[in-house]
Amino acid sequence: MDATMKKMVEKHHATISKIGKEQKVAMVSSEQRQAEALEIVGGPFDARRVDFDAFCNVTNDQLDFDIHFPFGAA
């Protein structure tokens, strides 16, 4: 392999390595943001676990609940 080709191959490998490292950083950042979002959603009230079909016969007169804001007023 001549010197020019060898230099091109080395540059290509360096570029691919750099792209891989940048992608890894981006993925870690994305995973951290997703974990933070899950912490918010996974709080005391998880709407995904509520069986809303169970409320089909409930009237407005029967609804009574308190709202709690652990971090202050919304």
First to last CA, the chain: 68
The number of residues making up the chain comes to: 74
pLDDT tens digit sequence for 9-23: 999 999 999 998 888
* Structural tokens at position 41: 């959603």
Question: What is the per-residue burial (b if ≥16 Cβ within 10 Å, else e) of 40-55?
Answer: eeeeeeeeeeeeeeee
Helical residues (DSSP H) of the chain, grouped into ranges: 3-41
pTM of the model: 0.41
pLDDT tens digit sequence for 38-58: 665 555 666 777 777 877 887
pLDDT tens digit sequence for 56-71: 887 777 777 666 666 6
Please tell me the predicted confidence (pLDDT) of residue 56: 80
